[in-house]
Amino acid sequence: MAIITRITHGMAPWGGGVLCFFALAGLNLAINAMVTPGLGFTGETWLGRRDMFYPTRPHKRQKAGCMRIAVSLLFMTGLGVAPIHAQEGFKPAPVIDIGVETIKEGKSAAHEKVETEFAATLRKAGFAGHYYGMASMSGMGQVWWIEPLPSFAAFEEYQKFTARDPLKSSLDNLDSRDGDLRSSFRQMWAVYRSDLSYKPASCNVAKTRYADISTFRIKLGKDDDLVGGAKVIFDAYGKGNIDMCLLGYQVVAGAPSGTFLFVTLMDSMTFLDDRPARAKAMVAGMGESTYRQLTKGMGDLFVPMEDNLFVLKPDMSLAPPAVMDADPAFWKPKAAAKEKPPVSVPGPPEKKEP
């Protein structure tokens, strides 16, 4: 079980290029409105404070094997969420541990089987943590694990739990098998940025099926511009009645400084088809002149950006009971199938007496 994490810490000002950043980011979702909302955040500036945090979660995977525990999607993480019914009581995790595994060619099926065993083993042992597994639908063949955490200290407690036998031996064995199926592993840590998120309360992890994760890096000293640009974009979203959830996280370890992750949770791929309409509403909400001003100078604010699509894998995830119970047909299909009443099959027609 690998922990998929690849993000750093740092935040840059939007300076006049924020919109541009959103516009060009990722699947072109931003070109019109997707990415823009994802980058638009407003809140504390971790990057500005240059705070660094060190991993403490119950993963067993780094070189010797890091037990991956991913962020609960939400899905942990992220850019935005399609307009699906909000999950009652949803709150973005303050900290997320991200594990990124690159899978060898032709080993995806075998890898998924091992990861399913990982989740089953932890669930049987009563592990208190949770994580979500996602397989890439673009870019390199990878699996990302996102583990939501209430704090960095919580990871340390999780590690203590997984360090005890017989669980430790079982996880070591699984990690050895998993290591033969992946070519690389990377782990990152990120903190939630409420000022770079849009309508986080509207997220619904239980109904999430796909995720769009955009990775952005800003130049040092640009924090204020980033936050300011985000505010302009979010205001435009509000005026345009754009219904979506954007979750912004700042990487504080495991990636270059100034790295931010924006996750968009989707219940269907049709969310991507609607991006032109959202882009149009966003531009109308802020005005053409403001939009043009924001899209200028993107090169002065951002460095390489990347956007990728993922499909959520319920069998490889260790979702909390509340999420699974909200949609058992997806999160625990075998159990849901057993609960269904047997279908009566009509027998042959009765023969009538002559």
pLDDT of 38 reads 32
Residue 350, domain member (yes or no) = no
pLDDT of amino acid 4: 32
Residue 207 lies in a domain: yes
* pLDDT for residue 335: 59
Average pLDDT over residues 324-333: 92
Asked if residue 148 is part of any domain, the answer here is yes
Of 19, 40, 50, the C-alpha closest to 227 is 40
Instruction: Please check whether residue 290 lies inside any domain of the structure.
Output: no
Number of C-beta neighbours around residue 348 at 10 A: 5
Q: Is the pTM of this model over 0.75?
A: no
Integer distance in angstroms from the first to the last C-alpha of the chain? 69
Q: Is 239 inside a domain boundary?
A: no
Region 289-317: mean pLDDT is 83
What's the rounded Cα separation, in Å, for the pair 354 and 348? Answer: 18
Residue 346 located in a structural domain: no
Do residues 25 and 305 lie in contact, with contact meaning Cβ atoms separated by under 8 Å? yes
Looking at the chain, the whole-number percentage of residues with pLDDT higher than 70 is 68
300: in domain:
no
Domain that holds residue 254: 46-227+244-265+310-322
Res. 177: pLDDT tops 70: yes
Q: How many domains does the chain have?
A: 1
Q: What is the tens place of the pLDDT at every residue in 121-134?
A: 999 999 999 999 99
Residue 168, domain member (yes or no): yes
Confidence band for 293, pLDDT divided at 50, 70 and 90? confident
Question: What stretches of the chain show up as alpha helix (H) in DSSP?
Answer: 18-24, 29-32, 35-39, 46-49, 108-125, 152-162, 167-179, 223-239, 270-273, 275-286, 288-294, 321-326, 328-331, 333-339
The yes-or-no verdict on residue 283 having pLDDT over 50 is: yes
pLDDT at 118 over 90: yes
| Among candidate residues 212, 252, 248, the one with its CA nearest the CA of residue 229 | 248
Q: What is the pLDDT of residues 269-282, one digit of tens each?
A: 988 898 888 889 98
List pLDDT tens digits, range 37-86: 333 323 333 333 323 222 333 444 433 233 332 222 233 333 333 444 45
> Comparing 21 with 221, which gets the higher pLDDT?
221
Mean pLDDT, range 280-288, rounded to an integer: 89
CATH of the domain at 208: 3.30.70.100
